[in-house]
Amino acid sequence: MPGVNSHILVVDDEPDISALVAYHLARQAYRVRTAADGSEAMRAVEAERPDLIVLDQMLPGVSGLEVMAELRRRPETQDIPIIMLTARR
């Protein structure tokens, strides 16, 4: 199975979107943690380094782009793959 032991952090301020993405990843045997904003995302990464981050571009407070920039600045997180999402048209 592709997801066994892989940890994915899903960051989105819309609970329905976060739950939907997390549900589908968990069905593929990924371990999923969620965060609702940029600050919570950074705390989650510090608590347990994810193998992948699914990151909403438009978050309240610290934006997804700012979170990504901060992760890329840090040597210990600069190589974590990030998939950016947005519901904006």
**Are 31 and 8 contacting, i.e. CB atoms less than 8 angstroms apart?**
yes
Q: What is the DSSP letter of 74?
A: S
Asked whether the whole model's pTM tops 0.85, one would answer yes
Q: What is the DSSP letter of 52?
A: E
pLDDT on residue 89: 54
Burial class (CB in 10 A: 0-12, 13-18, 19+), 23: exposed
Length of the chain measured in residues: 89
Q: What is the DSSP letter of 17?
A: H
Note down pLDDT in tens along the chain; length 89 residues. 566 679 999 999 999 999 999 999 999 999 999 999 999 999 999 999 999 999 999 999 999 999 999 999 999 999 999 999 987 65
